[in-house]
Amino acid sequence: MTSDHDFTGVQPPVVGEEAEWFDHCREERLMIQRCASCGRHQFPPRSVCIECLEEEPEWVEAAGTGTVFTYTVQHREPPGFADQAPYAIAIIELSEGPRMLSRVTGKPDDVEIGMEVEVAWATAAPELQVPVFVPTGAADAG
């Protein structure tokens, strides 16, 4: 599947709990972990709850909504990201609480701290779907 959000990039190393997370991404499901003991949500995935150390937190699908916690605009293109700048790199605070490093697609000038966003999916490499974020409501239009 291709979308307007696709970009080329550097393939990340996929190890440990992250391998399962990327498997869910290929199905365009934004998964985070939830502790069955204390209820805390967490991301990135880990083998234990970072609050109470309970083992094997369960996978749950995030709502895919959140807000821009902070962001920066990349003006220079690092190796592997040709013809993409400028673009906004943002920390997204998911509705469930965890924060996630991602991109807000579209014009960087339109990005603001606190703006509401929702997940969209980009193909960054063959077999590599990654979540990016768009202003709420924009995903349906594009």
Q: Which residues bind Zn ion (CB under 5 A)?
A: 35, 37-38, 49, 51-52, 54
Kindly state the smallest distance separating residue 53's Cβ from Zn ion, in Å: 7
**Coil, strand or helix at 20:** helix
Kindly state the smallest distance separating residue 97's Cβ from Zn ion, in Å: 13
| Residue number, 57 or 106, with CB nearest to Zn ion | 57
86/71 Cα distance (integer angstroms): 13
Kindly state the smallest distance separating residue 92's Cβ from Zn ion, in Å: 22
**Coil, strand or helix at 114:** coil
24/139 Cα distance (integer angstroms): 20
| Residue number, 49 or 88, with CB nearest to Zn ion | 49
How far lies 105's CA from each of 19, 54, 83, 102, 117, in Å?
Answer: 25, 36, 14, 9, 10
| Residue number, 14 or 38, with CB nearest to Zn ion | 38
| Residue number, 10 or 36, with CB nearest to Zn ion | 36
- Is residue 88 within 8 A of residue 104, CB to CB? The reply is yes
